[in-house]
Structure 1
Amino acid sequence: MAVVFVGFDYMNEEIVAEIKRNVTALLETPEGSCPGDRAYGISFDFVDMPINVAKNLAALSVIDKLEVYEPRVELKEITTETDLESGHLKNIYLIGPNKDYEETEADEE
């Protein structure tokens, strides 16, 4: 898995660093493994599925979790690299700012 962040040039560096930490932690955590919040993390139900199905299920999981845990961003694109020799797939998530996100007073505190 790899995460590429795009379109954050106009944002405060501290906020961008916070967003990157949050997104990276979310995407690297298997769903169900966080004792304080079993819903946190990404579902890995797509493992061993056909490539197109796996890609779609991974994208849906990421989209759903970003809406809940880091609504300031959205998944722009997902690409898959295949290593034919090893048979491994690598998802690359392109993450950008969510233009529709509006901060509330609770977010600012």
Structure 2
Amino acid sequence: MKYIKTLSDLSKVTDHLIQASISLHIQKLEREYIEPYQATLHGWFVICEDDSDLIQTFPQLSFSLSEKLSSGEVEYVDKKPDWYEVYIMLNDNEGILVYVPTEILERYKIKQI
């Protein structure tokens, strides 16, 4: 699992389409809030890289993506050609946008999606 909490973290993203998507989301946040991107204010990004990432608890949080999907506690799920974007609210302004490759969800067979 990769965590993107700073602009410099984008360099760790090997999938150029996901990297571009995250960059676009960050640009939108910066325009909307008229300030530089800060994960603790605007939320952060997670990229799932293998099946176990679905059940792994997020660092410093008490839940996994699988738990949130199973309980229906996600704000939205957006299907893209090669991945899903799953948004989880943490508080009034901070959330996590999780990128999950389609093949991982298909193997895991989460029926809520």
TM-score (ref. length: structure 1): 0.30
TM-score normalised according to structure 2 size: 0.30
Structure whose alpha-carbon radius of gyration is higher: 1
